[in-house]
Amino acid sequence: MDVSYEPNLYDTVTPATFQGDVDWYRRQAQDTGGPVLELGAGTGRITLALARDGVMIHALEASRHMLAALRRKTADQPKEVQERVIPIEGDMCAFRLETRFALIIAPFRVLLHNLTEADHLACFQRVREHLRPGGRFAFNVFHPSLEYMAQHSGSLAGVWRWGGTFQSRDDGWVVRSEANRYDTVRQRVHSLHRYEDYGPDGVLRRTFLHRLELSYLYPADIERLLARSGFQSVRITGGFDGRPFARDTDELVVEASVD
């Protein structure tokens, strides 16, 4: 599935690390020793960090535009890093690879692009089939905060809000705005993300509108879907520091393993 991310804008507005996620995934990779498969590798924020650590990583990405950006970034790395990155264009619900992995990761909420229970099960079953015995599946998704959803419901649903102003590489600026609507029956969020790209002189160069639909999962959903997919052990914490899940606004950080 190609969800029409624009790679340059994506890189401009995406933080180098999200709540400490890069270091957490690096530790996961070092702990298991690799090889690693990353679902939804994007432009390589996590991929290249692991490759620089000496880990062999297969980078699965559905968007050919994002994958092209990853290939360009990889080409700028030292030769030994380049040799550790294997880009693959593919769907996380339908991939079939010869390699079996010690670790499969899905950073930055990428699993929420799976919209239905059938999609999630298909993805988790592909993951299960591609793990070595004793392998680990690690990912993070947002917890569906009732407080946050209340701020985007009723008369506030679909209201445009400023999401941040970010400096671009040429000293211009990108202003990001978003409008969200929640479907609490089907557990979906419908979002529009608008990007306004300004040059250093303040002149608007272009606008880009990204339409995004995501599912959301509660901890019980995650545990049930992983169990149905053959995972024996599931651990959910409330952040990348390993704290217990206790707050509505916590990030759900998940580790699941197989025998």
> How confident is the model at residue 1, as a pLDDT?
45
The C-alpha atoms of residue 228 and residue 62 are separated, in whole angstroms, by 25
pLDDT at residue 3 is higher than 80: no
Whether 214 contacts 244, CB under 8 Å: no
- Give the mean pLDDT of 112-131: 98
**177: Cβ contacts below 8 Å, ≥ 6 apart:** 160, 161, 162, 163, 193, 194, 196
The C-alpha atoms of residue 244 and residue 238 are separated, in whole angstroms, by 5
> How confident is the model at residue 173, as a pLDDT?
98
Radius of gyration of the chain (CA): 18
Residue pLDDT, tens place only, 54-78: 999 999 999 999 999 999 999 999 9
**Complete domains list, the chain, with CATH:** 7-144+217-257 (3.40.50.150), 146-215 (2.20.25)
pLDDT at residue 226 is higher than 50: yes
> How confident is the model at residue 7, as a pLDDT?
96
User: pLDDT confidence of 17, banded at 50, 70, 90?
Assistant: very high
123: phi then psi, degrees, rounded to nearest 5: -65, -50
User: pLDDT confidence of 244, banded at 50, 70, 90?
Assistant: very high
Per DSSP bridges, beta strands 188-198 and 173-183 are antiparallel
**53: Cβ contacts below 8 Å, ≥ 6 apart:** 26, 29, 30
